[in-house]
């Protein structure tokens, strides 16, 4: 704190000297001095002891809120955490876990990771961490991550309860770098259509995509569904690299502009892996930023068919600026534009609160259910390479609209998810019956083909609902029954195998995937959309 006082004293001295010299000042200099003087006065003359660090942070946060919805302040302790999902790895023990009844339950150890190497198994319950009890109401995700993550090479001891054995098994685990994959699923839907779901545009996403693509190509893929639904974005460079896989050399991918940032363009190279095969891109209201750059470029160049619902509309470019204490400001410096010139960013002039309610407003206006509830003014018309009309004004409007599945609408389903009953029930079931399921079905393909969610599982879900204080309503269950039973099957598959198997089970009733398959199998319909004839 002493050094901080000296710093502000120096600032005050500088101000005094500037005033004495009576030299003309720019507005920027004057405002900087006003802020520094204010902090100095609070630190040295305020009636009570002030937390000057907090005052400074609050002032920065308040200032950024006045600019736009995406400029942000990130404290020193949160910088690494904020970057982690995009960097593509973290350092820890390598387990996927869930908190089930206030207990850390291992869903699966990371293949080849430090936990698997020492013998941690699916279903193990971590009861002690470094000799301290690690269960009960104090346990949350922050508690777990703080104790199990750590620098590569450091060690942690865990006491594990396995099965019905009352004795804990102690494991000493040496932490290591754990990869975070950004592709959730890649598999063949049939003999010629491949499917890849990208969760975020991370540092290693391009390489992951190339590997997934090569695998599907070796299995006979002729057409591709690239699923960006719920993908909130990530690195600009990764978005550019992935667009580059789909379009011919020399075409504009995206450009950015801002008052202090001259126009900058990115164009495709000759490196594309898939520049001619049939392509569908799936988007929805959760697809943002880098997802909109990719889907906008594909649409503007008539390279593939975009299916789903209007995307989020996040087209502001944030540049990170490091502060002296290790904190960071992510300041909006320019806007993204698609190749046709469309600005991706939706309006935010009415303030942050109004901006945050955009999805709620879309729901009220019926946009999630009816494409004709979305209106674009003629002033926002743009043309694709082939002369098709597309619209700016925020987000990417798909070529084919898919309404929200009304099966999600039952209050029963919403409450089962919101209160964690569905997840806890399917996780418990998978942990108890994993060996039995694998012995009976052998592999996932047989499970997917033959496993039926019977009345015993429905009764189990009813009991889980009762335990979670979710009121069971037969009329609502009947409305959501088909979807809910498929969710049970898919969630069990995810817990017995991997995340990919969840998507494989759900594909059979996924309206977006099914419409994509229909269009890819109909050359006339596919070409008609892209030619606009």
* pLDDT tier, 23 (very low <50, low <70, confident <90, very high otherwise): low
Q: Are 234 and 290 in contact (CB under 8 A)?
A: yes
pTM of the model: 0.82
Q: What is the mean pLDDT of residues 204-225?
A: 96
pLDDT at 203: 87
What angle (nearest 5°) sits at the alpha carbon of residue 268, between those of residues 263 and 271?
150
Task: Give CA separation, 172 vs 122, 157, 175, 212, in Å.
Answer: 17, 4, 10, 35
Among residues 45, 107, 11, which one has the least CA distance to residue 498?
Answer: 107
Q: How many CB atoms lie within 10 A of CB 402?
A: 22
Convert the pLDDT of each residue in 66-116 to its tens digit.
888 888 898 887 877 676 666 656 788 888 787 877 788 887 787 668 888
Choose between 87 and 432: higher pLDDT. Answer: 432
pLDDT at 9: 46
Give the Cα separation of 479 and 404 in Å (integer): 15
pLDDT at 409 over 60: yes
Q: Give the 3-state DSSP-derived string for 271-289, with helices as H, strands as E and coil as C.
A: CCCCCCCEEEEEECCCCCC
Give the Cα separation of 155 and 113 in Å (integer): 14
Helix H or strand E segment including 177: strand 176-179
Give the Cα separation of 55 and 340 in Å (integer): 45
Active site positions, annotated: 289, 300, 314
Q: How many CB atoms lie within 10 A of CB 292?
A: 29
Give the Cα separation of 392 and 388 in Å (integer): 13
Most confident stretch, 48-57, 150-159, 273-282 = 273-282
Query: 278: which 2 tokens?
Result: 């049939």
Query: 367: which 2 tokens?
Result: 């946009």
Q: Are 100 and 428 in contact (CB under 8 A)?
A: yes
């Amino acid at each position: 704190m002493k050094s901080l006082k000296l710093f502000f004293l120096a600032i005050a001295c500088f101000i005094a000297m500037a005033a004495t010299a009576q030299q003309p000042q720019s507005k920027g200099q004057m405002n900087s001095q006003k802020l520094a003087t204010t902090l100095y006065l609070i630190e040295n003359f305020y009636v009570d002891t002030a937390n000057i660090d907090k005052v400074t942070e609050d002032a920065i946060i308040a200032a950024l809120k006045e600019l736009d919805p995406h400029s942000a302040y990130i404290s020193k302790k949160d910088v690494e955490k904020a970057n982690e999902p995009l960097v593509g790895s973290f350092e820890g023990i390598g387990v996927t876990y869930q908190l089930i009844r206030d207990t850390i339950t291992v869903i699966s150890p990371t293949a080849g990771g430090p936990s698997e190497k020492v013998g941690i198994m699916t279903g193990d319950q971590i009861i002690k961490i470094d000799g301290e009890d690690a269960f009960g109401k104090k346990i949350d995700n922050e508690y777990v991550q703080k104790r199990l993550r750590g620098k590569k090479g450091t060690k942690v001891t865990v006491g594990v309860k396995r099965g019905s054995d009352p004795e804990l098994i102690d494991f000493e685990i040496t932490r290591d770098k754990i990869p975070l994959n950004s592709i959730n699923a890649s598999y063949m839907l049939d003999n010629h259509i491949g499917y890849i779901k990208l969760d975020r545009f991370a540092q290693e996403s391009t390489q992951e995509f190339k590997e997934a693509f090569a695998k599907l190509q070796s299995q006979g893929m002729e057409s591709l569904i690239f699923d960006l639904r719920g993908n909130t974005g990530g690195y600009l460079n990764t978005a550019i690299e992935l667009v580059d896989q789909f379009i011919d050399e020399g075409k504009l991918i995206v450009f950015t502009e801002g008052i202090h940032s001259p126009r900058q363009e990115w164009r495709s190279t000759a490196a594309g892996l898939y520049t001619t095969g049939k392509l569908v891109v799936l988007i929805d209201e959760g697809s943002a930023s880098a997802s909109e750059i990719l889907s906008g470029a594909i649409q503007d160049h008539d390279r593939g068919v975009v299916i789903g619902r209007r995307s989020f509309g996040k087209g502001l470019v944030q540049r990170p600026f490091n502060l002296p204490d290790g904190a960071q400001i992510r300041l909006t410096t320019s806007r993204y534009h698609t190749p046709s010139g469309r600005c991706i960013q939706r309006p935010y002039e009415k303030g942050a609160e109004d901006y945050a309610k955009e999805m709620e407003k879309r729901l009220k206006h019926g946009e999630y259910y009816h494409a004709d509830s979305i209106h674009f003014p003629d002033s926002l018309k743009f043309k694709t390479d082939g002369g098709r009309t597309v619209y700016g004004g925020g987000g990417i409007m798909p070529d084919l609209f898919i309404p929200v599945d009304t099966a999600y609408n039952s209050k029963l389903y919403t409450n089962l998810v919101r209160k964690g009953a569905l997840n806890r029930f399917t996780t418990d079931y998978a942990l108890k019956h994993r060996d039995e399921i694998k012995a009976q079905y052998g592999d996932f393909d047989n499970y997917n083909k033959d496993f039926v969610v019977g009345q015993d599982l429905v009764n189990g879900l009813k009991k889980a609902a009762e335990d979670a204080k979710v009121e069971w309503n037969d009329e609502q269950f009947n409305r959501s029954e088909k979807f809910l039973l498929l969710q049970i099957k898919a969630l069990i598959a995810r817990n017995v195998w991997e995340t990919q198997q969840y998507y494989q089970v759900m594909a059979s009733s996924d309206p977006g995937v099914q419409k994509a398959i229909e269009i890819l199998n109909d050359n006339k319909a596919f070409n008609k959309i892209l030619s606009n004839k």
